Structure formats: structure tokens, C-alpha cells
């Protein structure tokens, strides 16, 4: 049985609002598809050989944790970027999504630098953007709705017009509550503010990552899973927000 290796970066620092559930979802779905899945926790100070991994996951965290992670991950950022460019899947939630940009400026004016993988920045504001959210995305190659929960004080803005958001906000706030964009999508990377966790209620996005993992390993995704329960949960949030 082929084993899939997914790194969980800084699980003790970046795990707000049930983000760990994304890993549970991926692991179970891979098992159901017939693959073993090994989740590898990576703590502060550990060296990471990204070339041995099939995917990287980073959850959300507070400003303090975000700053600690930046200082530790920066020394290995070049190696991570090489793998991202070669198509390694990565899911970054909330604070770790902000880390992918140039900087985060808190409401008291403190500047926290990011990895500068992408030309965007985040500014903190006192009023938090909180609530259920639904967006429309095409990361799977066709239009899909994505549901989740957002709770962030940061407003993220793209400097580079060529950057692609994860999706278009139908209800909710998204990156900044103004331009109707949410998250970022680049190759097999998704950065997003969606907690909840994201993947259990959005099986198409979970399978987007699984298909990307298998394609890089020269493997095929065979068969289909019974997603009636997952789709029911998705539709309940969708109906609540859109009134359909």
C-alpha cells in the first residue's frame, strides 16, 4: 500500500477553530481510497526535507504564534518555495495564509514580516470579520461552492493583479470585506481564511489536494466515495446563507 506523507507544521502553535480536522479528513479519505497516510508533526527548530513530503498543512494562530513561526520557517523558505513551484500541495489557514505574503501590520502598528512568496499584505483592524461564508471557486476545473467559517481581524490586499483568489465571495467577508475575493490559489496551493474546518464540508476541495498528491507520485485516483453526508452538511450552510 502506497503511503502518503503530509507534514503538519507547528501543530502546537497553529491550531485555531478545529483546523486539525482538515488533516483528519484528508487521512480518512486517503484511507478510503486505498492509501496509507502518515501525518508528520513538525515543531519549532526542526529541519524539514520538503522533497520527501507529499503535502504541507499549516493552521491558524494568533499574532504571537505567527511571529514565532515566521522566524523559524524563514530559514527554510527557499526549499519550501521550490516544492510549491513544482506542484506540491499546500493548505494554509488564516494566520499561516497571511505568512505567505509580504507583511502583517497589527492594529497597534507592529510589523510582522511574511515569507514574501506572494505580493500581498495584511492590515489588522479592531473590528473582526466573523461568520459563515460561502464562495464560488474554480480550482477543481469547474465551478464549485465552498462553505466555511471566518474569524479574522486582518484585511488582506493583493498588490499583484495577476494573483488568483481561492474564490469569489457570495456571502460573507473574505480577504478584506470589500473586493469580494477570498484567499489565494497558486498551482496546488490554497491559502484561505476559512475555518470550520474547511475540508470535511467541502469534499471536492479535499479531493483536489488528493488528486494533486497522487498525480505527482504517478498514481491514479480510482473509484468514488459516498459523500452524501458531507454534501448534506455543505448544502445546509449554503441554504442558510443563500436562502435557497
pLDDT digits (tens, 9 = 90+) for 41-53: 999 999 999 999 9
Residue of 8, 25, 37, 94 with catalytic role: 94
Catalytic, 94? Answer: yes
* Residue 111: CB atoms within 10 Å: 8
- On the question of pLDDT at 62 being above 80, the answer is no
Look up 38 and say whether it is catalytic. no
pLDDT at 244: 66
What pLDDT, in 10s, does the model give residues 75-90?
999 999 999 999 999 9
Catalytic option among 8, 25, 37, 195: 195
Grid coordinates representing 173? 467577508
Q: Which of 50-54, 206-210, 239-243 has the lowest mean pLDDT?
A: 239-243
Angle at which helix 228-242 crosses helix 203-216, to 10 degrees, equals 130
In this model, does residue 221 exceed pLDDT 70? Answer: yes
Query: Domains in the chain: how many in total?
Result: 1
128 is in an annotated binding site: yes
Print the domain residue range for 168: 4-242
Instruction: Report pTM.
Output: 0.96
Q: Which CATH number belongs to the domain containing residue 50 in this structure?
A: 3.40.50.880
Amino acid at each position: 500500500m502506497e503511503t502518503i506523507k503530509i507534514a503538519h507544521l507547528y501543530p502546537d502553535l497553529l491550531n485555531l477553530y478545529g483546523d486539525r480536522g482538515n488533516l483528519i479528513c484528508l487521512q480518512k479519505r486517503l484511507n478510503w481510497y486505498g492509501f496509507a497516510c502518515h501525518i508528520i508533526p513538525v515543531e519549532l527548530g526542526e529541519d524539514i526535507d520538503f522533497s520527501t513530503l507529499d503535502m504541507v498543512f499549516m493552521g491558524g494562530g494568533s499574532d504571537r504564534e505567527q511571529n514565532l513561526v515566521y522566524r523559524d520557517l524563514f530559514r527554510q523558505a527557499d526549499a519550501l518555495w521550490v516544492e510549491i513551484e513544482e506542484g506540491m500541495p499546500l493548505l494554509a489557514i488564516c494566520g499561516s495564509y497571511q505568512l505567505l505574503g509580504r507583511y502583517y501590520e497589527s492594529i497597534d502598528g507592529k510589523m510582522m514580516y511574511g515569507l514574501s512568496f506572494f505580493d500581498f499584505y495584511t492590515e489588522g483592524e479592531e473590528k473582526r470579520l466573523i461568520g459563515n461564508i460561502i464562495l464560488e471557486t474554480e480550482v477543481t476545473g469547474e465551478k464549485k461552492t465552498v462553505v466555511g467559517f471566518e474569524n479574522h481581524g486582518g484585511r488582506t490586499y493583493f498588490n499583484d493583479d495577476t494573483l488568483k483568489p481561492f474564490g469569489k465571495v457570495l456571502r460573507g467577508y473574505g480577504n478584506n470585506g470589500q473586493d469580494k475575493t477570498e484567499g489565494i490559489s497558486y498551482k496546488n496551493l490554497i491559502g484561505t481564511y476559512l475555518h470550520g474546518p474547511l475540508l470535511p464540508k467541502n469534499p471536492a476541495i479535499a479531493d483536489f489536494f488528493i488528486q494533486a498528491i497522487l498525480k505527482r507520485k504517478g498514481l491514479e485516483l480510482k473509484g468514488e466515495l459516498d459523500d452524501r453526508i458531507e454534501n448534506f452538511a455543505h448544502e445546509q450552510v449554503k441554504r442558510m446563507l443563500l436562502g435557497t
